[in-house]
Amino acid sequence: MATRTISRLLTLLILSSICSGIVAGTDARNTSLDFVNAPSSGEIIGGTYSVAVVNITGLDYVILEVEDGTSWTQISNMSGTPWSTSWDTSTVDDGAHRLRITGHPSDGSSNIQVVTSSFFVDNTAPSSLTFSVDDAEVGDGSSIANRAWFDISESGSMVFRWNASDDNLDKAVISGVPGSGNPPSDGPGTLLNRWSWAPGDFSEGLYTVSLTVHDKAGNTATRSLYLGIDRAGPTTGTPVFSVSENSWTNDAIVTVGALSAGASDNGGIGIDHYEWRVDNDDWNNFGTGSTSTLPLPEGQRVLSFRAVDRLGNSGPSTNHTFWTDHTDPVAGGWSIPEITTMTQGQISIQLIATDTLSGIDESNTTLRYGFDNDGMGSIPDITNQWLSLGSGMNANLPSGIDWSTKQGDWLGVSAIMSDYAGNQILSPPTYVRIVPGIDFQLEDVSVDRLIVAANTGDKINVTGTVVANQAFTGSVIVRLEMAPSDRTTDTNWTVLETRTLNAGSLYDGREVLDPFEVRILASGEYDLKLSIDPDEIIPEKDDGNNVEYLVVSGARPSSIGAVTSFMPALFLLIAVSGWMVWTMKTTKEE
């Protein structure tokens, strides 16, 4: 009995030890070593597949293997960051496979293995492709030489069909179809093996439609289909005319030839005849395109020609213009900048003219200039002739002209105008006067007081700044005058002070005036006038900005005193208040 009990205890210990070993082994395998993104069960892959592992703490290295039939073949030995590798799946046959990773711990404990579910490798592209289009009028599209042609409207439709062989077909995609965009892919999912395509904007032209068939592993196969859409008629050749196009003439007829030379139906059914018309009149039969004559009416006329094929499709028209013009150009004036005695550099002028029919012929239009004393007459009397500036509508006056010597003279301009029909006319002369270049003006003119006591010696200070539009090296007179505001027209201004600014004081263009002192002798309102160059000794561009006016007043001294006498009374009030406070304080202390 004791022996049997001991046997049972030994059996339990052995089983416990075995179970303990199994748990330990299980714990070692559950350290979470795993694939990052292993192929799922039944997944189809191909090409290069990236394999990465995670939770490699405590591992020296990880062996990656693939199951190939009944054996495992090593793919990679990963022993450090980034613990990943790329597997070329083409190294194994197409079919079912599994991946296995084996982690080797650093402490020599049991290896850890993780095996994926079974997946499929497919590196074989789809085969036996067929690709066709329904209802082609000519050809089947199998080659460029056998292009499938359509006479189809923009809103028509095309039906494309395809087929292919592959165990893992996924989808089919076509591109390059006529019209906007491309049809959606056929698949994944249910495969229809066809597309009905009607984008609504079929355009004429040649198309290469590409079919790409995909399997679930990403393998592809392609096939092309060659199409053409033609709804247009033929084009004409380049006609030859007895009168030049786009030029002006007075011929009444024009001879037309070579209309059929170079004409083409662009691969269509062929040309039947040609037609012509004038402007937008009805089309007329021109026959087979041999040389013939047509009438050429006066004015701007357009002759149009087109070809018609044997299906009645008319091609694009070619338009050719012929013009007749008997009207002279019309002068509309000149564009001339302001010219002063200080002007330097290039001066550009422009003739403004129109010709409603043939247009101004600038190459045969001549611009001219000259100088005149009074701005009148057909010939400038200083130069005694018109001097040429060359042809065109724009010209630069000679840079050698010294404008500082031309003050008061008149610059004259004229033109010999021509149009493209050969009509020519002289424009009436235009004159502009040369004005002085310097210009003065006053800025910041002001007074420090508007009212002073009359006849008391009180003064008003008048200040301001003389500004020149450019450096001026000469001397300038500045004058201050005064007159009653209620003066009559015969009242003269009284000169209070006249100053002469020294030569060179306006070299920098500005001179701040020292204050003018004004004393008013009698009560009332007065106008002050501060002026530059009052006697107009210096020629200026504009004398209208040389004067500034101010208004000041003189008050009776008694009214001024009534205001100022308040100050002594204020002092007396303060003194009395202080005495009362001191008295009250003394009484309280007692």
- Can you give 6-18 as a three-state secondary structure string? HHHHHHHHHHHHH
Mark whether 445 and 549 lie in a shared domain.
yes
Residue, of 167 and 307, whose pLDDT is higher: 307
Q: Which helix (H) or strand (E) holds 424?
A: strand 424-426
Residue, of 373 and 313, whose pLDDT is higher: 373
Mark which of 382, 398, 433 sits at the end of a domain.
433
pTM for this predicted structure: 0.42
- Amino acid identity of residue 327, one-letter, is T
Asked if pLDDT for residue 16 goes beyond 90, the answer is no
Mark whether 445 and 542 lie in a shared domain.
yes
- 317 three-state secondary structure: coil
Asked if pLDDT for residue 97 goes beyond 80, the answer is yes
The closest of 94, 83, 155 to 125, measured between CA atoms, is 94
Within 108-211, residue ranges assigned H as helices are none
CA angle 290, 293, 297 (to 5 degrees): 145
- Average pLDDT of the residues in 181-208: 94
Q: Which helix (H) or strand (E) holds 477?
A: strand 476-484
Mark whether 133 and 221 lie in a shared domain.
yes
Mean pLDDT, all residues of the chain = 86
Mark whether 336 and 250 lie in a shared domain.
no
Q: Which residues contact 169 (CB under 8 A, 6 or more apart)?
A: 126, 187, 191, 213, 214, 215, 216
Q: Name the burial class of residue 198, with classes exposed (0-12), middle (13-18) and buried (19+) by CB atoms within 10 angstroms of its CB.
A: middle
55 falls within a domain: yes
Mark whether 518 and 489 lie in a shared domain.
yes
The string of pLDDT tens digits covering residues 289-339 is 899 999 988 888 999 999 987 667 899 999 999 988 888 999 999 999 989
CB 369 within 8 A of CB 412: yes
**Paired strand residues for 74:** 65
Count of structural domains within the chain: 7
Asked if pLDDT for residue 575 goes beyond 90, the answer is no
219 falls within a domain: yes
Mark whether 407 and 469 lie in a shared domain.
no
Dihedrals φ, ψ of 485, to 5°? -70, -25
Mark whether 408 and 491 lie in a shared domain.
no
Q: Which helix (H) or strand (E) holds 583?
A: helix 566-589
Mark whether 115 and 38 lie in a shared domain.
yes
* CA–CA dist 287, 277 (Å, integer): 13
The string of pLDDT tens digits covering residues 481-523 is 999 999 998 999 999 999 999 999 999 989 999 999 999 999 9
588 falls within a domain: yes
72 falls within a domain: yes
262 falls within a domain: yes
Supply the CATH number for residue 269's domain: 2.60.40
The closest of 498, 500, 349 to 413, measured between CA atoms, is 349
Asked if pLDDT for residue 576 goes beyond 80, the answer is no
Residue, of 69 and 365, whose pLDDT is higher: 365
Mark whether 18 and 40 lie in a shared domain.
no
CA angle 487, 488, 491 (to 5 degrees): 75
Provide the pLDDT for residue 194: 96
Residue, of 585 and 311, whose pLDDT is higher: 311
235 falls within a domain: no
Provide the pLDDT for residue 31: 52
Asked if pLDDT for residue 582 goes beyond 60, the answer is no
234 falls within a domain: no
Q: Which domain holds residue 339?
A: 330-433
Mark which of 291, 322, 353 sits at the end of a domain.
322
* CA–CA dist 366, 417 (Å, integer): 7
The string of pLDDT tens digits covering residues 43-79 is 999 889 999 999 998 899 999 999 988 899 999 999 9
Helices 566-589 and 557-564: crossing angle in degrees, nearest 10, is 20
Mark whether 366 and 425 lie in a shared domain.
yes
Provide the pLDDT for residue 530: 95
* CA–CA dist 536, 538 (Å, integer): 6
Complete DSSP assignment for 26-58: HHHHTS--EESSPPPTT-EE-SEEEEEEE--TT
Supply the CATH number for residue 381's domain: 2.60.40.10
Pairing relation of β-strands 148-150 and 220-229? parallel
Mark whether 318 and 334 lie in a shared domain.
no
Q: How many helices (H) and strands (E) does the chain have?
A: 3, 41
Mark which of 229, 262, 279 sits at the end of a domain.
229
CB 538 within 8 A of CB 437: no
Mark whether 154 and 197 lie in a shared domain.
yes
The string of pLDDT tens digits covering residues 409-467 is 999 999 999 998 888 999 999 999 998 888 899 999 999 999 999 999 899 999 999 99
308 falls within a domain: yes
